[in-house]
Structure 1
Amino acid sequence: MPPPTALQLSDDHFGIAEVVAPLLDDSVEGAAELTAASPPRLHQTAQMKRLSTPWAVCLTRAEQLAQCRLADGIVLDPACGSGMQLYAYCARLERAGLGIELDSDAALLAAANGKRVWDAHGGDWGAKTQVVLGDGTDAAAALAAAGLPDRPVAVLHVDPARPQDAQRHSLDEMQPPLAELVGSWADHLAEGPVGPAIIIDLSPRLSDAQRQEVGEILGARWRDSPITWEWLSIGRGRIDRLTVWFGGAADPRSPARMLRLLPDGSVVRFAGEPVAEKADHTTSPKPGQWLTIVDSALLSSGLQGQWLRKAISHRTESRWLRIDGRRPLLLTDTALRMDDPSVSAFVSTTGEIQARTKLPPTEDGIESILVSARSAYLARLTLRCTIAPGLQPVLQQALDKGLKIHPRGKQGFLINAETLDGEGWFVCREP
């Protein structure tokens, strides 16, 4: 491998790259401030765009990091890609950065992108920010190429490339490997009162054992440093980001943090001690009770208790019927306080139980389900239960056709749940 090469931020680098990387069409040119609604116009290949962190998420992290007490020094991203997250940190913190990229075209584009963010948002950080074409796990070589001292790094952020299904791969298969990366940079990190500030983006599908392994890699070097695990969701019933915030970047009071990023860029947060939940199948849901599908990230974070205290009165009975998968399911005796944004932000759908169907959702059982839906005066009944992919559109079409008699009726959904007497299917009417 050739020796690492340091690149200053410059638009000229784009003309050297041997890839097609047009500017993002939906970006805003010349924004005067960092906002979720004004992403910088960056050069990205199709693969870069697919793998890059959304600008709103980049800003949310930068805002959180700005609240931390950091040592003096630069921001480092040893696998910077397009540079979007690195430059969000640099612009918000007003600190110089160092990006490292193994791919030559990606490094050139990252250097060009840094100039665009610097031009758009101003500040002095860009003059001392560099991108090194080289190996992110060779700290000494990268620092020498950039002409930096031995301990210049105040914040290390990395989003390693990883296999699509990280549960079936070891952490060493991520690139750069975490243990090797941390070992290489450990002696070059400026440490504050609780250790260095480290932020690592990980697969949302990381297993509990792998999360423990990450904690052990960091704790082996800095045993007493705090750690905060953060789950972030932008909706759609899935965990979008899992990030570990360590040392000076962590919140010492909160081992777990749950963020729901709303379309307008605002954030709903819960933070604190995680509590493991258990599914309760000791009773069967009844008409008049409410079933709610909740954002899966909430249960994964272990902070569902904080959310539940806002969602219902302490006098209201509740139990979790399902705690894993993409459709965690909550049963309550009353409706949720959906007028509270911190409650509704984590709700996929909620409805009052109208009936338990006599037959499961099959082609033979569709008429029985329609009887219950018509009795509830529903204009539409959306299938939100486990059904074979090929059968789902057939049944949904049959339901849509059968409910045309109530065009002004309410919306509803069909959901399955384990109960005291086996699996059941419930027709629910949305508020």
Structure 2
Amino acid sequence: MILGFDMTSETGHKLVESLDLGVDPRAIKKEVRRLVTPKSVSEYRAKISSKANLPEGVILDPAAGSGGQLLAYSKYLDRPCAAVELSPQRADFCAYQFSKASNNSSVITICGDGTDAQGVMSIVESKTGQTSICMLHVDPARPMDTQKHAVSEMQPSLSVLLESWSEYIHVGPDGPAMTLDLSPRLARQQMLEIEDIVLAVFPRTSMTWEWLSRGGGRVDRLCLQTGPLADIGSASRSVRLWNDGSFSTLHDDGDILDASDMGWSDYKLCLGDLVALIDPVIPKSGLRGVFEECAGYARGELVWIGKSERRPLALLHEEIHSGSEVRPFVVTQGVVVGRMASKLDLMSIDSLASLAMENNIATIQVRCSLEPRLHKRITDRLRQILGQIHGSPGFLIEDGGSEDLVLCKELEV
């Protein structure tokens, strides 16, 4: 692939254009692989954004990385798009990505500093004829190999970026249309810091935090939606995104959100208890109370057991049925049929298998903490032992009120 620059602004920003698509771009892909947003997530965000009442103008990503998110916007929204990337190699890859797409004519790639709005806009205006930004998508770089980071460590700096673009982005009655794609590990205090940064530049802006899960037992994405992209009157939204691109949502209606680290019980599970593993986006988003009400319970009626980042557990009075609004956020539910007062390892597999056979359980989903390599060995061994059994599916969880393991028989769908 030959990449050429045919336009340079006075500030050094360069328009990147692909002149030849015949070269395998694998070397470039290796550089940006960790930056790629899953396609299903990118397309979900684009579909949601396409329903918003956006003004005329350009959709801008000032730190575009691989360009995948902007490519999805160009597919679903009838707006020109501009990708800005400081790294020449990443900018080259963006240009390659866009040129391979059938609708690439609506996207331009600029190599340069995304916080220099004036320099970027000099090229945007000359190429698109547009003088304003209708939507800003920001996925700031974060420190590598760290579980936690300060807001000040994000690059580009959110405060510098928003201040720079405030002159060009359209600001409606609810504020500007922005998606800030952030780390799902952000603490509540850091989220408040980010809200303060937004409000310092764009006062009275509507904001909704969105927690997204793809069903892997974790929160996959966290973003702040503002202006026409926000759910007006709603501070928090949980999303379960399915493999086929469909999704389910749950949000508050101005309710007081639950603190994710409060209201957890040390209840010890008993035989016959009905329990459900809940998608972690529900407690993380502060929507446990909303979940309870939508499931037919009074707020505070459900018992939430043993606070867990990945496997929140709720004690139910009755099954949550498939037609329920909250059913998409129930990972699995079942009845407690047995306990094991030992940790799960290669030595305890036979005891677990015997307990399963006593309760006519033919398969076991291990849904407790286990080292990945050991997890595979144990599940493979259980599959061998129980392979000839005809019975119900089951799952193994940790008891929030003790160190025991609990075997549950899954409810029939």
TM-score by length of 1: 0.81
Tell me the alpha carbon deviations over residues 247-283 of structure 1, each in whole angstroms, 9 at most, x when there is no partner.
3332222111111111121110112243335444364
Tell me the equivalent position of 2:193: 213
1:363-382 equivalent positions in 2, closer than 5 A: 368-382=351-365
Tell me the equivalent position of 1:199: 179
> Aligned pair 1:184/2:164, yes or no?
yes
Shift of the alpha carbon at 1:193?
1.4
Given candidates 255, 280, 284, the residue that maps to 2:268 is 284
Distance in 1, matches of 2:148 and 2:331, equals: 29
Corresponding residue SS for 1:428 = strand
Give the letter aligned to residue 384 of structure 1.
Answer: R
Distance in 2, matches of 1:322 and 1:213, equals: 29
Q: Relative to structure 2, which stretch is displaced further, 317-326 or 250-259?
A: 317-326
Q: Residues 299 and 324 of structure 1 are in contact (CA less than 8 Å); yes or no, is this contact kept in structure 2?
A: no
Distance in 1, matches of 2:154 and 2:137, equals: 15
Tell me the equivalent position of 1:3: 12
Tell me the alpha carbon deviations over residues 321-363 of structure 1, each in whole angstroms, 9 at most, x when there is no partner.
03431111111132221x2375442233322111233444456
Give the letter aligned to residue 333 of structure 2.
Answer: T
> Aligned pair 1:162/2:145, yes or no?
no
Distance in 1, matches of 2:80 and 2:358, equals: 65
User: What percent identity do the matched residue pairs reach?
Assistant: 33
Shift of the alpha carbon at 1:79?
1.2
Tell me the equivalent position of 1:25: none
Q: Residues 54 and 134 of structure 2 are in contact (CA less than 8 Å); yes or no, is this contact kept in structure 1?
A: yes
Shift of the alpha carbon at 1:207?
1.6
Tell me the equivalent position of 2:113: 135
Distance in 2, matches of 1:198 and 1:342, equals: 28
Shift of the alpha carbon at 1:299?
1.5
Shift of the alpha carbon at 1:408?
0.8
Q: Residues 357 and 389 of structure 2 are in contact (CA less than 8 Å); yes or no, is this contact kept in structure 1?
A: no
Corresponding residue SS for 1:142 = helix
Q: Residues 293 and 299 of structure 2 are in contact (CA less than 8 Å); yes or no, is this contact kept in structure 1?
A: no
> Aligned pair 1:330/2:314, yes or no?
yes
Q: Relative to structure 2, which stretch is displaced further, 55-64 or 166-175?
A: 166-175
Q: Residues 292 and 300 of structure 2 are in contact (CA less than 8 Å); yes or no, is this contact kept in structure 1?
A: no
Tell me the equivalent position of 1:29: none
Distance in 2, matches of 1:54 and 1:365, equals: 38
Gaps of 5+ in 1: 23-42, 121-125
Tell me the equivalent position of 2:19: 12
Corresponding residue SS for 1:12 = strand
Corresponding residue SS for 2:171 = coil
Q: CA separation of 1:408/1:317 partners in 2, compared to 1, >3 Å: closer, same or farther?
A: farther
Q: Relative to structure 2, which stretch is displaced further, 79-88 or 295-304?
A: 79-88
Distance in 2, matches of 1:156 and 1:111, equals: 19
Q: Relative to structure 2, which stretch is displaced further, 145-154 or 155-164?
A: 145-154
Distance in 2, matches of 1:395 and 1:92, equals: 44
Q: Residues 355 and 372 of structure 1 are in contact (CA less than 8 Å); yes or no, is this contact kept in structure 2?
A: yes
Given candidates 278, 285, 296, the residue that maps to 1:301 is 285
Tell me the equivalent position of 1:110: 94
Q: CA separation of 1:140/1:320 partners in 2, compared to 1, >3 Å: closer, same or farther?
A: same
Q: Residues 172 and 179 of structure 1 are in contact (CA less than 8 Å); yes or no, is this contact kept in structure 2?
A: no
Q: Residues 97 and 130 of structure 1 are in contact (CA less than 8 Å); yes or no, is this contact kept in structure 2?
A: yes
Distance in 2, matches of 1:171 and 1:218, equals: 13
Distance in 2, matches of 1:343 and 1:204, equals: 21
Distance in 2, matches of 1:5 and 1:386, equals: 49
Q: Relative to structure 2, which stretch is displaced further, 282-291 or 409-418?
A: 282-291
Shift of the alpha carbon at 1:4?
1.0
Tell me the alpha carbon deviations over residues 19-40 of structure 1, each in whole angstroms, 9 at most, x when there is no partner.
9525xxxxxxxxxxxxxxxxxx
Give the letter aligned to residue 279 of structure 2.
Answer: D
Give the letter aligned to residue 430 of structure 1.
Answer: E
Tell me the equivalent position of 1:269: 249
Corresponding residue SS for 1:131 = strand
Q: Residues 370 and 402 of structure 1 are in contact (CA less than 8 Å); yes or no, is this contact kept in structure 2?
A: yes
Tell me the equivalent position of 2:153: 173
Q: Residues 58 and 130 of structure 2 are in contact (CA less than 8 Å); yes or no, is this contact kept in structure 1?
A: no
Give the letter aligned to residue 25 of structure 2.
Answer: A
Q: CA separation of 1:285/1:312 partners in 2, compared to 1, >3 Å: closer, same or farther?
A: farther
Q: CA separation of 1:146/1:385 partners in 2, compared to 1, >3 Å: closer, same or farther?
A: closer
> Aligned pair 1:418/2:400, yes or no?
yes
Give the letter aligned to residue 417 of structure 1.
Answer: D
Distance in 1, matches of 2:202 and 2:300, equals: 44
Q: CA separation of 1:70/1:416 partners in 2, compared to 1, >3 Å: closer, same or farther?
A: same
Distance in 2, matches of 1:80 and 1:254, equals: 28
Shift of the alpha carbon at 1:401?
5.6
Shift of the alpha carbon at 1:208?
1.5
Distance in 1, matches of 2:251 and 2:300, equals: 23
CA RMSD of aligned residues (A): 3.1
Corresponding residue SS for 2:72 = helix
